[in-house]
Amino acid sequence: MRLKRILLAILVSVLAIILSISTRRASIPQANYANGKILRVPFVKQGPDLCSEASASMVLLYYGLNFSQEEINAKGFDRFENMLPFLDKYIYCSYKSLSVGELREEICKGNPVIIRLRIGLSLHTVVAVGYEDDWIIIHDPASGPFIRVRVDESFISPWAASNYASIVSRGRKP
């Protein structure tokens, strides 16, 4: 188990390096501007092996629901692939395979999107919180908030490897 965590940490670090080659951080993002939009999604730094739980926590916080990544994990929701039943208790959401255009449309509607990335044999989860021109803006629970990722092969390839797996949120349930 320890070796698995070390390998996962190395692979997440490699992802951060790959993304940093084509990214730059937005220090003080604006909510709306001519060629894009950024949602004010709170950022949660992930604990060890908790990227999906931290991503779910961010989206829930956006809708005013306070669940820590540890609480989500303790309830048995420990990865992207089994997160929907937990989220569905509190927000309107669904699994989707999105194009970049559809991802932008969801963000434009005010819906943050949880995205699954596959890097080699490892999986990682981030939250798409905005877009601008040729950039998608993500909260990467392993690396930080408001990371601008160029929409090129460095972003598309790891997302395509997961079949563009996404959880689209559409608002808080009553």
Q: For residues 163 and 116, give the distance between their C-alpha atoms in angstroms, rounded to a whole number.
A: 9
Q: Which residue ranges make up each domain of the chain?
A: 2-172
Spatial CB neighbours of 1, under 8 Å, sequence gap ≥ 6: none
Q: For residues 108 and 58, give the distance between their C-alpha atoms in angstroms, rounded to a whole number.
A: 18
pLDDT higher than 90, residue 144: yes
> What is the per-residue pLDDT for 120?
87
Out of 3.40.720.10, 3.20.20.100, 3.90.70.10, 3.30.70.1350, the CATH code matching 2-172 is 3.90.70.10
**Rounded to 5 degrees, what angle do the CA atoms 170, 38, 52 make?**
55
Closest by CA position to 93, among listed 170, 174, 173:
170
What are 32-60's pLDDT values in tens digits?
556 899 999 999 999 999 999 999 999 99
Could you tell me the pTM of the whole model?
A: 0.83
Q: For residues 144 and 68, give the distance between their C-alpha atoms in angstroms, rounded to a whole number.
A: 17
What are 96-128's pLDDT values in tens digits?
999 999 999 999 999 999 999 998 899 999 999
> What is the per-residue pLDDT for 139?
98
